[in-house]
Chain A
């Protein structure tokens, strides 16, 4: 442990989802950590982007009791015709309103947990991991933004014998990545574009770091699945896929699987709950046929190409 002792570490966690079946092998529990250096406009977990707690408002659940208005220490909540309104510029994210809300219409989107507390939640489904060859997955947000917590929690998971997976954008310092290598059995490594200008347009960041880190993981012999979200109008064309494939092909032996994940709009509910506009709200879903076409450049070099 570098700067903090184990019992001082806290992670800011937006959700711990048991029975996750799409984030690595078998039945898993996925820990969603808050904070992300990228800003993908299609992101379906917008609550995980900010590195601080936020209030989410589910207006359909509000019973208009007004308890939140009274509970707010800075008076930034009012009830109007649509239900609860929060002046987010004044909100302290203290969570007093959420604690006062009987209907769970207001919820703090995250909580601070120690590695040991997190492990105690992960432990309860160990029998399911064992049966299914599953384990635990750390996702986000970008899990690596909370490296101290991540490293220590991964270490605890390995000491319990769990299979560990980290779902990452790869956008971090190489040294950060290096810290979790000994405790990570599988990386789910996201690639959003093959072209740097496209990547910047969609995520706000350059590709270089992500490419370098993937090469680093390959060189270290890590187990890797590549995950490519297919976003209509952004990367759903043969040219982008060709560039991603061209970049990956030299590393094909080290990459166990390529997964193409079709865009979905289900995150829209969360944008509404955060009072945020969703720039991908009007994108059409990608057809299965289109997905199969987009996957073609990968089949020659990779044994396992899956469409999620």
Chain B
């Protein structure tokens, strides 16, 4: 067994160095790709991309860290930021002159700007719609078939490519793609061998112990990823080379690992059974890999790279697949507290009890992971949107919460954003933004003319569809520019059916394409509509014009009305079916619109809600709303309730969220975040209760749940920045309250009690 309380010295040293890095931009990749493109002028883009990738891998300056056993990095120095001039020159100021001169006017961002209709900048300026991934970056957001590289190596893939070339006939673009892919795979093999060379050179001057380690590194890198992995260590190293290279090939994030515990387990088990490795050695290697995930953030560690790693879940027959290695992955995160990889755990009705309990203990440490996913909902969702029932069981999580089939699905789960709370604002002001007066949506009539809720609803629907249309337009722009300029031949080799169809992943090569859009503000739109329905059209307490005047005044001089709107009891998140049905009605508008529109790769659009911090950003540009929310305040986080609206506690909130029609409306994943103070949930019984809460939510039909257990340090932060922690509830026997509303001395007492809770 390995220590679950103390990091190995090696890992501690690697970690210390990581936390003390000073970042700067690494221009090596930029210089190499520029030189490469200058040599390939006139060739088809896919070939140029394949060749450039190969050139980067064969020319990039490499380093191996003093203590590490797993090697491979994106930039030339630890913590430096890799540069990608072909996507956007606005990323950095100090481009080498030849790089700036070459790419000016030729980047993906430049092309996107040319293709955007005039409404897009207007809409993006107020964070309303647009902001689509892939218009100035790569698409990222996908799960490559890592297991394929472990199984056959890039040598095996090259054989596949050669075979495909034999049958390509006169499909010239197909031949170009296959040749580009060959360059890319050849580059992968050369890159690993360069690490082997470097390790051998370093060994010459190293002490005996390190020289032995370096010799082992060299031997591993000589073999993988060119050939099939023969051991656990080779499998980890091969995986890591692929993972980093996916980030070198394109400027993308949310490049996720898929079912890591599934494809790694056979190697782990075989080595343990044969006595080739101890659990302690395996754990140290895994921890080293966890450090590499953190390194891959590049620069400041407070950013994230959304490298999601999925654990557990079922096989096609419904049996639980968690294994000893799944537990080891949880232990690695529990011990390190690292934010990367982001862990996801799949729940299903036959979930292994010990594994689920381990997931809960990990959450209880306060690391905020793993996030929990409901197989039974997500598999139905994927099937409803065209994924074969033979594949759905094998889904994994991309980025934040987006389900995808590893190795078979085009990512692009993060398309553009759309703020549907803004759609309500526009519906009440005839399409005008209350911020700028700009006509942002269609003219759907002044509020004074609405004599029924249905008329307002009709206007809302039109505005919401219009904003969605703008977003899908930018999604199509992203699809177009990527198809023209953004080929990723290495990544494509790891996605079915790119090789068979002889098409790059940006060019329709992949079997499944579901392009996500990120919806923001559905609870706000829902509660705003409910407030109007109840207080204007049912109780007739106010006229719609009065509500509009109050919104224009940001409720200044209308505080009494604001309080009544805020306390209108029929709000989402309180286990009130009528309110929750309004949320479904709101969601249906954007989900029907998305599903009806094809994307650029042969699939269609889907809706997700995973705002990260966009609910804060979009909120800044959203006027006062009819639910009493002030102008500029954050919108609701994901599918959670609006701030302070969920007055019936977590069981009520979770019942409301479970009542959402996830299968129909949230194919792109959604986020439900709840917070508990460590004081409430610290005992073994408390942790078990948390597991029961989550499991009941899943049985009721919830899709995703993330539980944050708040420790004393966070409570100190909440004292300093109360607005960021407005939703944090503390509970002790017979008492619960919003933490930030307590007096300072009582807050201090809660903190003291939390510090005692281990």
Contact = CB atoms under 8 A, between A and B. Distances in A.
Given A22-B733, A264-B732, A132 B649 contact: no
Contacts of B700: 127
Interface residues of A, number: 43
The 10 A-B residue pairs with the shortest CB-CB distance, nearest first, are: A132-B692, A102-B563, A103-B563, A22-B733, A131-B696, A288-B756, A19-B649, A18-B649, A102-B564, A19-B651
Given A26-B689, A265-B746, A285-B752, A44 B651 contact: no
Interface residues of B, number: 42
Nearest to A259: B733
B649 A17 contact: yes
Interface string B646-681: 001111100100000000000000000000000011
Nearest to B698: A131
26 contacts: A17-B736, A19-B650, A21-B689, A21-B731, A22-B732, A26-B689, A26-B692, A27-B651, A27-B693, A27-B696, A44-B735, A63-B560, A65-B559, A65-B560, A104-B567, A124-B651, A125-B651, A127-B696, A128-B651, A132-B696, A264-B735, A264-B749, A265-B745, A268-B746, A285-B753, A308-B733
Given A27-B651, A63-B559, A267 B692 contact: no
B234 interface: no
B219 to A, nearest CB: 51
Contacts of B753: 262, 264, 285
Nearest to A266: B735
B20 interface: no
Contact of A139 (B649, B652, B686, B734): B734
A271 B648 CA distance: 23
Interface in A72-103: 102-103
A127 B732 contact: no
Interface of B: 559-561, 563-564, 567, 575, 648-652, 655, 680-681, 683, 686, 688-689, 692-693, 695-696, 699-700, 731-737, 741-743, 745-746, 749-750, 752-753, 756
Contacts of A22: 731-734
A23 B680 CA distance: 12
B736 A18 contact: no
A265 B749 contact: yes
Interface of A: 17-23, 26-27, 30, 32, 44-45, 60, 63, 65, 67, 102-104, 124-125, 127-128, 130-134, 139, 261-262, 264-269, 285, 287-288, 306, 308
A303 to B, nearest CB: 15
Contacts of A267: 735
Contacts of A269: 737, 742-743, 746
Q: Which of B648, B680, B686, B750 has the most CB of A within 10 A?
A: B648
A26 B567 CA distance: 31
A128 B733 contact: no
Q: Which of B649, B651, B683, B700 has the most CB of A within 10 A?
A: B651
Given A127-B696, A261-B733, A266 B651 contact: no
Contact of B699 (A23, A131, A139, A264): A131
B746 A266 contact: yes
A104 B652 CA distance: 21
Given A127-B699, A130-B696, 15 more contacts: A17-B649, A22-B731, A30-B734, A102-B567, A103-B563, A124-B651, A125-B651, A127-B696, A127-B700, A264-B735, A264-B749, A266-B742, A269-B742, A269-B743, A285-B752
Contacts of A268: 743, 746
Contacts of B746: 265-266, 268-269
A96 B678 CA distance: 40
B732 A23 contact: no
A32 B699 CA distance: 29
Contacts of B750: 266
A18 B652 contact: yes
Nearest to A67: B560
A264 to B, nearest CB: 6
A266 B747 CA distance: 9
B749 A102 contact: no
A32 B693 contact: no
Contacts of A133: 692
